[in-house]
Amino acid sequence: MGVDLWKSHHRVNWCGDRSWIRSYAYTERWGETFFPGWKDKGLTQSGQRYGVNWNQYQSWTQRKFCYVEYFSCIQEANPYHNTTVWPNGAGQWN
């Protein structure tokens, strides 16, 4: 049994007609910490390409979480998300 120290969220939203992404394509990004000493330092990189009037939408996010920051972090985590979605509802992510 483990405990969550932090979570990095990367939620992709889009509307497709099975052939093209039509009305919107956007990403919501946020971080949470659950253990004392961990701090969400925010995004270190993010971006997107394609989207409305394309046949795919790709989005990526990387955050930095820091444990006990003084001059630098005692420990840090840098989770990365990369998601590609298609107008038929399919998606691929890591």
| Three-class secondary structure assignment of 20-68 | CEEEEEEEEEEEEECCCCEEEEEEEEEEEEECCCCCCEEEEEEEEEEEE
Query: Collapsing DSSP states into helix, strand and coil, what is residue 71?
Result: coil
Q: Would you call 36 exposed, middle or buried from its count of C-beta atoms within 10 A (0-12, 13-18, 19+)?
A: exposed
Q: Residue 84: what pLDDT?
A: 98
User: Tell me, what amino acid is at 16?
Assistant: G
User: Which contiguous run of DSSP H or E holds residue 93?
Assistant: strand 91-93
Partners of 58 in the β-ladder: 49, 84
Q: For the chain, 94 residues long, give each residue's pLDDT as a single digit of tens.
A: 688 999 999 999 999 999 999 999 999 999 999 999 999 999 999 999 999 999 999 999 999 999 998 888 999 999 999 999 999 999 999 8
